[in-house]
Amino acid sequence: MPGSVDHLMSLRSVVSLFAVMIVLAVGGGVVLHDMYSAADGQAAAPDPAPVPVERDPEDRPGRREVRLSADAARHPERDAVRRVLQTYFDAINERDFDLWRSVVTSERLGTTEEDQWIEDFRSTRDGDMFVHRIEPARDDRLRVLVSFTSTQDVEDAPATLPEPCIHWWLALPLAAAGDGDGWRVDAVSPGTPPLYEAC
């Protein structure tokens, strides 16, 4: 019996040592992968998403410039993506449907009536737009993970969150422009609802 106990204890020791070696090997591999990826100029792990900027009510919704995370800034299409999103949000803030139409796809435009668009955004102001990631998507499209803050009259807010100030997180699909001039904001597929919360 004592021999069996000793054998069991030594077996546990071997298993424990083996488990530690696996953890160290995997951890070391991850560290080395990150080091070599950074040395090769490849994107490392994405930056953590910043907490929404909390501003005094008179300073909301915040900055009007679209900003990029360090991860998004490493993407080769970063400048084109920032330009199209800047125009997209400028159009909403300026109530300029023609400007908005210039940076959306025909599919997105086909689901939007001008009168309804003007009604939907009549009191909306967007700010603190932040691109977290730019990712490849199907059919040579891009998926842009973006957050922003909107202010609006309570009656123009979503029925599920009737608030004057809302933080939004959403994935915007971008498609290549038909004329080869950059990207256009595409129709959002029904299975990707935005996330939002009150400021």
Of 5-14, 128-137, 176-185, the least confident: 5-14
Nearest to 101 by CA among 1, 197, 22, 177: 177
CB 130 within 8 A of CB 69: yes
Q: Which of 89-93, 114-118, 151-155, 188-192 has the lowest mean pLDDT?
A: 188-192
- The structure's pTM equals 0.72
Q: What is the pLDDT of residue 9?
A: 37
Least confident stretch, 53-57, 101-105, 144-148: 53-57
pLDDT of residue 51: 56
CA dist., res. 199 & res. 65, Å (int) = 19
- How confident is the model at residue 146, as a pLDDT? 95
List of residues 6+ apart from 199 with CB closer than 8 A: 52, 54, 60, 149, 163, 165, 166, 167
pLDDT band at 179 (very low <50, low <70, confident <90, very high): low
44, 38 Cβ separation under 8 angstroms: yes
Average pLDDT, the chain: 77
Q: For residue 28, is pLDDT > 50?
A: no
Tokens of 18: 């083996």
CB of 62 closer than 8 Å to CB of 127: yes
Residues 6+ apart with CB under 8 A from 169: 49, 145, 146, 147, 194, 195, 196
68, two tokens: 């990029």
Question: In the structure, what pLDDT confidence band is assigned to residue 72 with cuts at 50, 70 and 90?
Answer: very high
Is 70 exceeded by the pLDDT of residue 110?
Answer: yes
Q: What is the mean pLDDT of residues 47-74?
A: 77
Residue 174 has pLDDT above 70, yes or no: yes
Give the max Cα distance, the chain.
Answer: 87
Residue pointed to by tokens 């990150």: 34
pLDDT band at 182 (very low <50, low <70, confident <90, very high): confident
